[in-house]
Amino acid sequence: MLDLLIRNATLPDGRAGIDIAIRGGRIAEVAAGIDAPARDTLALDGWLVTPPFVDPHFHLDSTLSAGRPRNNRSGTLLEGIEIWADLVPTLTPEDVKGRARELCHWSIARGCLAIRSHVDVTDDSLMAVDALIELREELAPWIDLQLVAFPQNGYYRYRNSPDNIVRALDRGVDVVGGIPHFERTTDDGARSVKVLCETAAERGLLVDLHCDETDDPNSRHVETLARETERLGLQGRVVGSHLSSMHSMDNAYVGKLLPLIAEAEMTAIANPLINISLQGRNDTYPKRRGMTRVKEMVATGIPVALGHDCVMDPWYGLGSHDMLEVAHMAAHVGHMTGVEEMRALFAGVTTTAAAALHLDGYGLEPGCHADLVVLQARDPVEAIRLRATRLHVLRRGAVIARTAPESVSLDLGGAHRTVDFLAPQSAAE
Ligand code: FE2
């Protein structure tokens, strides 16, 4: 006896008329015309079913704090860091957990069931670390949280960071973070990359550095990160987040750099909403976009995932934690409006992001966790175009969030009809 049989789904790879059988919280079978008794049935009328969205780059400790103690007037990364430094001493565990929990509920409602969150370890009390470790356990039935030890004020630039990172990892933080472009000198930045990668190698952990988040084309720490990844045998375990300086580098250097990143089997994470907002602030016109070279990296075969980074915090005042909004922005900022390119961006907020996090049991194959999202769309491109309604969100086979389908009633001089914005050829009968 199945626990649930989902009928008539369309999958991201285009297969239509598919049934998904679920037993014991896992996917038992994916095929057309499954004929087996089930306790429950969910008939879908051809809606797109995808594994859940994954946010591979976020900051839960600062989220939903926008305006405290003041707004970011310049809109720059550096003013954001100053505001955050003023806010940190006033935070309490209840405050951090309350805001982060609320954001996770928004995330679940939007069909995102895994978040990698950086947590600032330059507060010596490690209060936010403890609060988010507790929240990780509290919310584990519904969402996977992965924490990165992130020295916001620098690894060498803030003298207690080396100790604090080790203490945070000892307490159960999952991933080693860093911020080499923020160190006092290029040399300090390179040394920080080396020692952070060594720490990860010794402990068998993953690496995810904020790397080259600047418009300065001479910020080339990603090169060191690729080299250290190879030297220490960390292939497949290292992420370079942001990589914004690559936007401003010259093509000759990038032509050398991309093969090095590919060779090291690194994943790049772009944060299009944040980088289009924070970068280029010192430019007049033309203004740089500041997003890393997603299009070129995808073409080179480098896995590129997309992160939300911030929602309503000192760096970014907007957002509702919608990973389709992230992919939508990436398509625009990155000139990636071709169908195959948009499908790659959909993967950037689902499968590629899940691979970067080394998530267990993620996917649509038999044996995977029955974690699924039903979208009011027929394919990934339509999902991005509409930031489609998440009709059902399933965790381990149980529906944990529902949203009514979008349908607008028009009354045009007595003539009534409804509009759902679906492409005409795919509109529901
Ligand atoms: Fe970040």
Span 198-247, pLDDT tens digits: 999 999 999 999 999 999 999 999 999 999 999 999 999 999 999 999 99
The answer to whether residue 296 is catalytic is no
Calculate the alpha carbon distances from 91 to 30, 70, 189, 209, 409 in Å: 47, 15, 29, 25, 46
Specify whether 128 is located in the same domain as 171.
yes
Angle at 353 between CA 348 and CA 354, to 5 degrees: 135
**122 CA → ligand 1 middle, Å:** 15
Nearest in space to 176 (alpha carbons), one of 105, 107, 213, 228: 228
Q: Give the CATH number of the domain where residue 19 resides.
A: 2.30.40.10
What pLDDT score was predicted for residue 424? Answer: 87
What pLDDT score was predicted for residue 429? Answer: 42
**59 CA → ligand 1 middle, Å:** 6
- Whether this model's pTM surpasses 0.85: yes
- Segment 389-407 shows an average pLDDT of 98
Specify whether 103 is located in the same domain as 39.
no
Specify whether 395 is located in the same domain as 336.
no
What pLDDT score was predicted for residue 78? Answer: 87
Which residue segment(s) compose the domain that 254 sits in?
A: 53-357
**204 CA → ligand 1 middle, Å:** 23
Nearest in space to 180 (alpha carbons), one of 208, 147, 201: 208
Specify whether 180 is located in the same domain as 325.
yes
357 near 52, Cβ under 8 Å? no
**269 CA → ligand 1 middle, Å:** 10
| Other Cβ atoms within 10 Å of 293 Cβ, number | 22
Q: Which of 79, 213, 325, 341 is catalytic?
A: 213
Specify whether 58 is located in the same domain as 166.
yes
Label residue 427 by pLDDT band (50, 70, 90): very low
426 in a structural domain: no
**57 CA → ligand 1 middle, Å:** 6
Span 295-316, pLDDT tens digits: 999 999 999 999 999 999 999 9
**9 CA → ligand 1 middle, Å:** 35
User: What is residue 103's three-state secondary structure?
Assistant: helix
Across the chain, mean pLDDT equals: 97
**149 CA → ligand 1 middle, Å:** 12
DSSP strands (E only) in 220-317: 238-242, 267-270, 304-306
**71 CA → ligand 1 middle, Å:** 18
Specify whether 59 is located in the same domain as 45.
no
Asked if pLDDT for residue 144 goes beyond 80, the answer is yes
Specify whether 21 is located in the same domain as 106.
no
419 in a structural domain: no
Specify whether 327 is located in the same domain as 203.
yes
